[in-house]
Amino acid sequence: MTATALTRLSLTDFRSYATAELELDGRPVWLAGPNGAGKTNLLEAVSFLIPGRGLRGSSLAEVGRRMPGETAGRAWAVAVTIRADGEETRLGTGVEQAGASRRVVRVEGEPAPPGRLAEHIRQVWLTPAQDRLFLEGAADRRRFFDRLVFAAEPAHAAHVQAYEKAMRERMRLLTDGPPDPAWLDALEARLAEVGTLMVEARARTLAALAAEIATRGERPFPQARLSLTGDWERMAGEGAEFADIEATLARALAAARDRDAAAGRALTGPHRGDLSVIHAEKDRAAGECSTGEQKALILNLVLAQAARLARAAAPSPILLLDEVAAHLDARRRAALFDEIEALGLQAFLTGTDEMLFDGLAGRAQGFRVEGSGLAAVG
């Protein structure tokens, strides 16, 4: 099975780009240019080729190009040709009018639901915003981990969305009233069902990642011990039956109605868990490690996920690594490039200095980015 790879990328009115096209050969891609040139915009465009809000978490209106004096982003489009196992498929997404709140998806030119994208492309990404992952609140770590889960199990995103929707509706009933018991029972049953699906998927991903990290041996990137601290994730990780987790969660939600109403937020459930990461060699929490060690720990998690997905059923993942190379010393940078090549994955990397990518000479395509213009290197 050959790795999934983009062979063509086309942008229209996306962020700083009026139009842009890249012809690709399936190898890793590096993009070099000054800050503000549009490098991350290209990665973000690729990230919209899976369900969700992209690697910046932006709304559809935000990513449409705006000229001076325009208050709303224009209609925009991202289109790719993707190759897997010798066959090519055309995918596209965007909005058809400025300010639209719903995006369209096309597969081979035909309208399709966003979930169809996951049949053709998976992604794992790392951005500068995740550099403070171990110093920020639990919500950021949950989102980071859920993105890893989603890359392995695309249905997880729909379960998270369904859970959050039901949770908002329940809180409106509890705080604004009237708190209809029958409707609360129905919402809590829905929360318990999709919440259990969520925690089981998280537990599976955690176990798979821990096993992958354990096999990685001596590498320049530090190994991590992982755990999920939420009560419900622990139940799933300890092998509790689906029905037991679901019933226990439903009872806990019902018992917490008065407390949640007083607090104005739900105080129990899978939305309260956290990801714990321990630097294995130092036996120290990641948040207590140096900035360089934290970055290396996160990168090792991303590479471990990419490695296990590369061996799994198609599609293999595409890596988006924004400004990662600049934060690594020469040894770790060389190890990153070697690992990407060994995995046989297409990766998109950005940096301000072309010399950061000297170690990829002959192994990748390079492009200079300046003023949202693109020029191939070499």
What average pLDDT does range 188-206 have in this prediction? Answer: 97
Q: What was the pLDDT predicted at 63?
A: 93
Question: Residue 2 above 80 pLDDT?
Answer: no
Question: Residue 332 above 60 pLDDT?
Answer: yes
Residues 267 and 211 occupy one common structural domain: yes
What average pLDDT does range 28-43 have in this prediction? Answer: 95
Total domain count, the chain: 2
What average pLDDT does range 212-234 have in this prediction? Answer: 87
CATH of the domain at 370: 3.40.50.300
Residues 49 and 73 occupy one common structural domain: yes
Q: What is each CA distance from 269 to 134, 140, 203, 266, in whole angstroms?
A: 22, 16, 15, 8
Question: Residue 283 above 90 pLDDT?
Answer: yes
Torsion of CA 117, 108, 346, 350, to 10 degrees: -80
Measure the CA–CA gap between 375 and 7, rounded to whole angstroms: 16
Measure the CA–CA gap between 349 and 340, rounded to whole angstroms: 11
Q: What was the pLDDT predicted at 98?
A: 87
Position 195 in a domain: yes
Position 240 in a domain: yes
Position 65 in a domain: yes
Structure token digits, residue 2:
């050959």
Question: Residue 314 above 80 pLDDT?
Answer: no
What average pLDDT does range 190-200 have in this prediction? Answer: 98
pTM comes to: 0.91
Question: Residue 1 above 70 pLDDT?
Answer: no
CB 105 within 8 A of CB 113: yes
More confident residue, 85 or 267: 267
Residues 117 and 1 occupy one common structural domain: yes
CATH of the domain at 214: 1.20.1050.90
Position 159 in a domain: yes
Instruction: Show the domain range for 288.
Output: 135-314
**pLDDT digit string, tens, across residues 87-130:** 999 999 999 988 888 999 999 999 999 889 988 999 999 999 88
Mean pLDDT of the chain: 92
Q: What was the pLDDT predicted at 90?
A: 96
